[in-house]
């Protein structure tokens, strides 16, 4: 039974991840335009992927904050809007070729490998590329990852009751895209932290029957 | 001038990639809970990378009617739901991205003219960056680009409907030029399709 609600605005990478045999029993697609309190009832965690519709998230923010107030976990990746989040995200050019051009200078310089999501990961598994930075985070937030300039990549707060973990990494989208092939490590750690269930230690596969007329919506 | 309806999923930056110009006037349509745009005032429907294919499935009959009226569709995204007449995109990760190389198929209208294939094959020396998965193309549709394993990656379909469909296996296209910079392959392909639509006096054959 799914324990993680993946807020879904119809983007294919979200769909590819949530319907992959490895994850489909753990993630439930929650179509953003139908998101309400009933949709998240019984879930342990919410995941808000990169390429989400920030305007609709702003309209639906009470669902997210009520979920946190119930002591649950929310994971947010990629960009965000100050219209619903007390933090300032800023865009930056995406460098997804640093490991070819300058492998000694990754987009993340420091990582708290004591955080449950990052425990056991190598630096390479903990950073592939980033989509922008946070230039302001809540005062009581813990900084989990930062770049060489000290700008925040990953942070966490308990100020809303549960745990909100936010990052400008994009593990859920990129794992769905499958152009980076080492993301099982990060997403499996994240999935276990969110749901308490560790996915089978195998590479993500695709179920072609879930595409086209057989789409699982 | 063509009038295009650009479907927007509210993602950051979309407006930078489709800018009205002498050939195309873009009107942006945001996806909402009650998404049901009137397509018929437009010549072209543009479904860019990062689109909502749940919403598009809801209007599949409208899309079919639009194409039945001889209009055109560009979909450069992974269309995982069955809303595109005759064709279906399928995700696949069974092949290594480092082995991906595109090759040209038939191209009756010259849509690949001036296109540097290496710009789709490589980004900073890395291959497999542009498209994902492949298209199950309609019988008789023109496959402009195949991947290494001869799977359709770019398809021009003039047979499934009386209209024209330009489809990519999620590879992004754009209608934008940066001053002083030559058009890159995703722009060149898109612009060649716009040129076809703008100059064609013969409708696509149904």
CB contact under 8 A, A15 and B132: no
Say if residue B36's pLDDT is above 90.
yes
The conformation of residue A188, written as its DSSP 8-state character, comes to H
Average pLDDT, chain B: 94
Query: Helices (H), strands (E): how many in chain A?
Result: 8, 10
CB spacing of B90 vs A211 below 8 angstroms = yes
- Is B105 part of a structural domain of the chain? yes
Are A52 and A78 a contacting pair, CB within 8 Å? yes
State mean pLDDT over A54-79.
98
Domains of chain A: 4-214 (3.40.50.880)
Q: Is residue B204 part of a domain?
A: no
Q: Do the domain assignments include residue B205?
A: no
pLDDT in tens, A118-145: 999 999 999 999 999 999 999 999 999 9
pLDDT of the residue at B206: 44
To the nearest whole Å, the CA of A145 is away from the closest chain B CA by 23
Residue B60 located in a structural domain: yes
Q: What is the dihedral of CA A67, A69, A71, A72, to 10 degrees?
A: 20
**What local confidence, expressed as pLDDT, does residue B22 receive?**
94
Express each pLDDT in B154-191 by its tens digit.
Answer: 999 999 999 999 999 999 999 997 777 778 999 999 99
DSSP B203: P
Q: How far is B137 from chain A (nearest CA, A)?
A: 12
**Best residue in B54, B56, B130 to probe A by mutation, most A CBs within 10 Å?**
B54
Q: Could you tell me the CATH number of the domain that includes residue B26?
A: 3.40.50.880
Distance of CA A57 to the CA centre of its chain: 15
Domain total in chain B: 1
Q: For residue A95, what are its two tokens?
A: 């460098």
Give the tens place of pLDDT for each residue, B68-116.
Answer: 999 999 999 999 999 999 999 999 999 999 999 999 999 999 999 999 9
Cβ atoms of B31 and B8 within 8 Å: the answer is yes
Put simply, the answer to whether B9 touches A10 (Cβ < 8 Å) is yes
Say if the ipTM goes beyond 0.85. yes
Q: What is the pLDDT of residue B178?
A: 76
- Residue A174 to residue A185: CA distance in whole angstroms: 13
Centre a 10 Å sphere on the Cβ of residue B33 and count the other Cβ atoms it contains: 11
Computed on alpha carbons and rounded to an integer, the radius of gyration of chain A in Å comes to 16
Q: What pLDDT was estimated at residue B205?
A: 52
Print the domain residue range for B116. Answer: 2-199
């Amino acid at each position: 039974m799914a324990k993680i609600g993946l807020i879904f605005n119809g983007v294919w990478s979200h769909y590819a991840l949530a319907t992959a045999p490895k994850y489909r029993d753990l993630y439930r697609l929650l179509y953003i335009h139908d998101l309400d309190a009933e949709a998240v009832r019984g879930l342990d965690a919410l995941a808000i992927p990169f390429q989400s519709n920030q305007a609709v998230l702003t309209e639906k923010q009470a669902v997210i904050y009520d979920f946190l107030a119930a002591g649950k976990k929310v994971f947010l990746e990629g960009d965000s809007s100050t219209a619903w989040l007390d933090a300032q995200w800023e865009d930056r050019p995406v460098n997804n070729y640093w490991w070819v051009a300058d492998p000694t200078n990754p987009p993340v310089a420091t990582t708290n490998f004591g955080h449950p999501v990052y425990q056991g990961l190598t630096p390479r598994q903990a950073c592939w590329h980033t989509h922008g930075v946070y230039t302001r985070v809540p005062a009581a937030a813990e900084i989990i990852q930062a770049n060489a300039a000290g700008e925040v990549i990953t942070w966490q707060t308990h100020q809303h009751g549960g745990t909100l973990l936010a990052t400008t990494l994009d593990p859920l989208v990129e794992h769905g895209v499958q152009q980076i092939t080492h993301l099982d490590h990060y997403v499996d750690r994240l999935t276990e932290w969110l749901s308490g269930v560790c996915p089978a230690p195998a590479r993500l596969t695709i179920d072609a029957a879930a595409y086209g007329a057989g789409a699982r919506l | 001038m063509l009038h295009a309806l650009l479907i927007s999923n509210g993602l950051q930056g979309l407006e930078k990639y489709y800018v009205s110009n002498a050939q195309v006037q873009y009107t942006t349509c945001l996806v909402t809970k009650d998404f049901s745009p009137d397509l018929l005032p437009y010549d072209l429907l543009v479904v860019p990378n990062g689109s909502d294919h749940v919403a598009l499935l809801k209007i599949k009959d409208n899309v079919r009617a639009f194409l039945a009226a001889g209009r055109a569709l560009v979909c450069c995204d992974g269309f995982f739901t069955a809303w595109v007449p005759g064709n279906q995109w399928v995700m696949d990760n069974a092949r290594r991205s480092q082995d991906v190389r595109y090759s040209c198929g038939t191209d009756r209208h010259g849509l690949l003219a001036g296109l540097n294939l290496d710009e789709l094959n490589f980004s900073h020396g890395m291959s497999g960056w542009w498209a994902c998965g492949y298209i199950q193309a309609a019988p008789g549709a023109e496959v402009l680009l195949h991947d290494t394993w001869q799977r359709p990656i770019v398809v021009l379909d003039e047979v499934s409907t009386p209209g024209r469909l330009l489809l990519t296996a999620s590879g992004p296209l754009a209608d934008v030029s940066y001053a002083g910079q030559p058009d890159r392959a995703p722009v060149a392909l898109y612009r060649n399709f716009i040129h076809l639509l703008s100059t064609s006096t013969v409708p696509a054959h149904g």
